[in-house]
Amino acid sequence: MDEAHPEPSLYTVKAVFILDNDGNRLLSKYYDPELYPSMKEQKNFERNVFNKTHKADNEIAFLEGMTIVYKSSIDLFFYVVGSAQENELMLMSVLNCLFDSLSQILRKNVERRCLLDNMDGVFLVVDEIIDGGVILESDPQQVLQKVNYRVTDQSDRFTCQSSLICSSQVIQSLSAAL
């Protein structure tokens, strides 16, 4: 195919990152190793994106040949990055799925402290939505069902409901009893 119309690809997401209201990285996943190979380049890109978007009321930005969709909540900024030719609606559906999934898991308390306290579940949500740059899921209910985690009332930490981990705990308790 010619340069004006690149070949379609399942690898639509180049990166996902979450920054705090000072532009500090809380989570980042880069799916294209050639895009920004070093952490220094990644942080420079994130700083440029944050500087361009943190005071803007838009939802889409174009920077360094990338399409960036973003959303803010209290003291967090959520970003999904795709190539310049990527469909903004697809990227926005990933962003909305991420935000809505985290909102439900964190009981609508999507802010820095709560996010940091529950990073294990946050990474699971991101990994359930995107795998290697390929969008796996865009429905928050399906993501929550697959992740199968919930926040407990006592400690605001994720409690696994997975049968695999529960089975592991049963095996450990049985072996301890023997």
- DSSP H helices in the chain: 39-53, 88-105, 112-117, 119-129, 140-147, 163-177
| pLDDT for the residue numbered 160 | 41
| pLDDT for the residue numbered 161 | 42
| pLDDT for the residue numbered 150 | 56
Residue 43, domain member (yes or no): yes
Residue 2, domain member (yes or no): no
Ranking 40-49, 55-64, 148-157 by mean pLDDT, the lowest is: 148-157
Secondary structure of residue 135 in the 3-state scheme: strand
Residues 121 and 162 in one domain: no
**48 pLDDT exceeds 90?**
yes
Residues 157 and 114 in one domain: no
Which domain CATH number covers 38? Answer: 3.30.450.60
What is the residue range of 39's domain? Answer: 15-147
Secondary structure of residue 131 in the 3-state scheme: strand
Residues 57 and 21 in one domain: yes
And the tokens for 33? Answer: 């190793």
Residues 175 and 103 in one domain: no
Query: Tell me: the pLDDT tens digits for 57-105?
Result: 889 999 989 999 999 988 899 999 999 888 899 999 999 999 999 999 8
Q: How many domains does the chain have?
A: 2
| 154 vs 22: which has the higher pLDDT | 22
Residues 133 and 168 in one domain: no
Residue 26, domain member (yes or no): yes
Residues 103 and 173 in one domain: no
And the tokens for 26? Answer: 């809380």
Residue 97, domain member (yes or no): yes
Residues 57 and 128 in one domain: yes
The pLDDT of 119-145, averaged and rounded, is 92
